Amino acid sequence: MCGIVGLFLKTDTLQPQLGDLMSDMLITMTDRGPDSAGLAVYSDSAGYKLTVQSDAADDVFPALDEWLAVNVPGTTMRHLSTHAVISGPADLGLTLPAALADAFPQLRIMSGGAAMEVFKEVGLPRDVAARFNLRDMAGTHGIGHTRMATESAVTTDGAHPFSTGDDQCLVHNGSLSNHNALRRKLARQNVTVSSQNDSEVAAAYLTWKMREGANLGEALEMGLKDLDGFYTFVVGTKNGFGVLRDPIACKPAVLAETDDYVAFGSEYRALVGLPGIDTARVWEPEPATVYFWER
Amino acid sequence: MQTYDLETHALRDLNAALQGQSQQTNETLWEVSNPKGAHAIAVGLDAPIEVTVLGPTGYYCAGMNKQATVNVKGSVGPGVAENMMSGTVIVEGDASQYAGATAHGGLLVIKGNASSRCGISMKGVDIVVHGNIGHMSAFMAQKGNLVVLGDAGDALGDSIYEARLFVRGSVKSLGADCIEKEMRPEHIELLADLLERAGADAKPEEFRRYGSARQLYHFHVDNASAY
């Protein structure tokens, strides 16, 4: 069992409140996933952002800050608990990940992209939200996950969201049964999956399909054929937000839509704090049906 | 009327109060406000009381109900009226998966749509859905009646025993051993009564009946090698 929340803003009005609204949604889903939590927050930016994580952030991040000043001038670093967001010019993503892997091999790269930042850690959703100041974050859309582990260990790497491409993320409630075969297939396509987690394979699969030219909606359609198991997925791209349930549809899902937003919750109670929810269109997404919004 | 606000009072206290009502209770009318999708509201009731829930609920609303009438002015999460024994549960909105699962008796009315596995393993309950139902509904249904004014999804009545299924709209597909059956006068009569009790504006003659072909659950010696 896991909990998923998502909020995709169609207008600008709620953007300053994105983190605040998502915090309550995430914390409400603690019962479904108390062992880890994570979130991806999308906000417009001109350059490139790399979100990194260290288990020894207090020691590593000052050194990283100095290293960046010397080796990658023009970058800034924002330090949030175990994570840091390095911002710089649009071409930062081409060279920095490899350079960091050499200079700081223990550093984990959580995400990269123009818009997305990913924060995830082991712990209660309330504590995870607090350590990253989620309430203060603004943005256009966000996806959050509370984890009750089944397929791999309770670690930072096993927490969701999984990001396997720039500005792409996926969260998953369920379990995939063909992830090992798919992992080998993806490896032959030079798509790397860094953890043993089944959900990361689904994320990498969608990244591969989008790299081949599909949009998010098309990639999800293909996933219906190639991904075997139980799943409710919520996925994000720089300007898109998608939902997909497997044909059996055991894993719960509720969608709500108003003029201002599309919201996803594993349960309705995750959505009760949203403005206008009493008059929103609320429905259960159909099995094996792609739901996909773009701004 | 007893009123109970879940914004300010604990759900556990509400259920304890409702479950504590005796057969002769004078406190027969209860109203619950601000349910906000909470789970297990008004479960395990066993008294002739009437509970109105003013808004959407989460999992297992009115589960294991006996005697009581529970009216939800909103949608319900998975497992509404699960294992109900008697009484009436009315949902003004939609129901999520496995509505009325394993229920032995009583009447469950869903005025919106019900999603997958509606009436799974039902054992005697009457379920009337004003809208559509999802896939695998009435899977292994054993007894009772499932009435659907709208359409049914894939694999309706898969591995069904002796429940009766009445569908007015289309059936996407029938499950294993489920077949269409003749509507006889006694079925029209039964359906007319169910529709009236469920406040449903539909004519019994508009429905088709489905049930068990009885090929699956009897051991047949010719199939011995298949076991």
pLDDT (tens digit per residue) in A193-212 = 888 899 999 999 999 999 99
Whether A206 and A162 have beta carbons less than 8 Å apart is answered as no
Q: Mean pLDDT, to the nearest integer, of A49-73?
A: 96
The confidence score (pLDDT) of residue A194 equals 86
Interchain CB contact of B58 with A (< 8 Å) = yes
3-state secondary structure of A4: strand
**A250 an active-site residue?**
no
Whether A34 and A81 have beta carbons less than 8 Å apart is answered as no
Taking contacts as CB-CB distances below 8 angstroms, the residues of chain A near B40 are none
* Two tokens, residue B210: 């489905």
Whether B92 and B110 have beta carbons less than 8 Å apart is answered as no
The answer to whether the CB atoms of A271 and B134 lie below 8 A apart is: no
Taking contacts as CB-CB distances below 8 angstroms, the residues of chain A near B115 are 249, 284
Taking contacts as CB-CB distances below 8 angstroms, the residues of chain B near A284 are 94, 96, 115
The confidence score (pLDDT) of residue B51 equals 98
Nearest to B94 among A248, A252, A284 (CB): A284
Whether B136 and B118 have beta carbons less than 8 Å apart is answered as no
The answer to whether the CB atoms of A267 and B75 lie below 8 A apart is: no
The confidence score (pLDDT) of residue B161 equals 95
CA–CA gap between residue B105 and residue B88 (Å, rounded): 9
The answer to whether the CB atoms of B37 and A271 lie below 8 A apart is: yes
Q: Mean pLDDT, to the nearest integer, of B127-153?
A: 98
Taking contacts as CB-CB distances below 8 angstroms, the residues of chain A near B135 are 247, 249, 287
**Strand stretches in A81-201, DSSP E:** 83-88, 108-113, 116-122, 141-147, 162-165, 168-176
The confidence score (pLDDT) of residue A196 equals 87
Interchain CB contact of B94 with A (< 8 Å) = yes
The answer to whether the CB atoms of B97 and A283 lie below 8 A apart is: no
Interchain CB contact of A288 with B (< 8 Å) = no
Nearest to B115 among A268, A271, A284 (CB): A284
The confidence score (pLDDT) of residue B227 equals 58
Taking contacts as CB-CB distances below 8 angstroms, the residues of chain A near B39 are 269
User: B93 vs A244, B55, B136, B174, CA distance in Å?
Assistant: 23, 9, 21, 26
Q: Which residues fall within 8 angstroms of residue A12, CB to CB, at 6 or more apart?
A: none
Q: What is the pLDDT of residues A83-123, one digit of tens each?
A: 999 999 999 999 999 999 999 999 999 999 999 999 999 99
The answer to whether the CB atoms of B77 and A252 lie below 8 A apart is: yes
Distance from CA of A272 to the nearest CA of B (A): 6
Quickly state the pLDDT bin for B226 (edges 50, 70, 90). Answer: low
The confidence score (pLDDT) of residue A150 equals 83
Distance from CA of A192 to the nearest CA of B (A): 36
Quickly state the pLDDT bin for B13 (edges 50, 70, 90). Answer: very high
Q: Mean pLDDT, to the nearest integer, of B34-45?
A: 98
The confidence score (pLDDT) of residue A234 equals 98
Q: What is the pLDDT of residues A167-180, one digit of tens each?
A: 999 999 999 999 99
| Percent of chain B scoring above 90 in pLDDT | 94
* Two tokens, residue A78: 């924002």
- Residue B226: name the closest of B178, B216, B176, B142 by CA: B216
- Hunting for tokens 């909470």 — which residue is that? B38
Q: What is the pLDDT of residues B15-30, one digit of tens each?
A: 999 999 999 999 999 9
Task: Give me the total of CB pairs closer than 8 Å, taking one residue from chain A and one from chain B.
Answer: 40
Interchain CB contact of A271 with B (< 8 Å) = yes
The confidence score (pLDDT) of residue B221 equals 80
CA–CA gap between residue A175 and residue A232 (Å, rounded): 9
- Hunting for tokens 């997404």 — which residue is that? A285
Interchain CB contact of A284 with B (< 8 Å) = yes
Q: What is the pLDDT of residues B85-120, one digit of tens each?
A: 999 999 999 999 999 999 999 999 999 999 999 999
Q: Which residue of B has its CA nearest to A283?
A: B94
Nearest to A268 among B37, B116, B135 (CB): B37
Chosen CATH of A2-44+115-294 out of 3.40.50.11540, 3.60.20.10, 3.30.70.260, 3.40.50.300: 3.60.20.10
| pLDDT of A51 strictly over 90 | yes
Interchain CB contact of B75 with A (< 8 Å) = yes
Chosen CATH of A46-114 out of 1.10.287, 1.10.1760, 3.30.70, 2.30.130: 3.30.70
The confidence score (pLDDT) of residue A74 equals 92
Query: Across chain B, what does the average pLDDT equal?
Result: 96
- Residue A33: name the closest of A243, A255, A229, A267 by CA: A267
Interchain CB contact of A50 with B (< 8 Å) = no
Q: Mean pLDDT, to the nearest integer, of B179-203?
A: 98
Quickly state the pLDDT bin for B217 (edges 50, 70, 90). Answer: confident
What are the extents of the domains in chain A?
A: 2-44+115-294, 46-114
* Interhelix angle A198-211/A216-226, nearest 10 degrees: 130
ipTM of the complex: 0.93
Q: What is the pLDDT of residues A242-267, one digit of tens each?
A: 999 999 999 999 999 999 999 999 99
The confidence score (pLDDT) of residue B225 equals 75
Distance from CA of B77 to the nearest CA of A (A): 8
The answer to whether the CB atoms of B36 and A272 lie below 8 A apart is: yes
| pLDDT of A223 strictly over 90 | yes
Q: Print burial letters for A72-103: b (CB count within 10 Å at least 16), e (below 16).
A: beebebeebebbbbbbbeeebbeebeeebeee
Distance from CA of B36 to the nearest CA of A (A): 6
End-to-end CA distance of chain A: 31
| pLDDT of B219 strictly over 80 | no
- Residue A104: name the closest of A86, A88, A81 by CA: A86
The confidence score (pLDDT) of residue B218 equals 75
| pLDDT of B224 strictly over 80 | no
The answer to whether the CB atoms of A282 and B75 lie below 8 A apart is: yes
Distance from CA of B224 to the nearest CA of A (A): 31
The answer to whether the CB atoms of B36 and A283 lie below 8 A apart is: no
CA–CA gap between residue A251 and residue B113 (Å, rounded): 18
Q: Mean pLDDT, to the nearest integer, of A234-239?
A: 96
**Strand stretches in B14-122, DSSP E:** 29-33, 50-54, 69-72, 88-91, 107-110
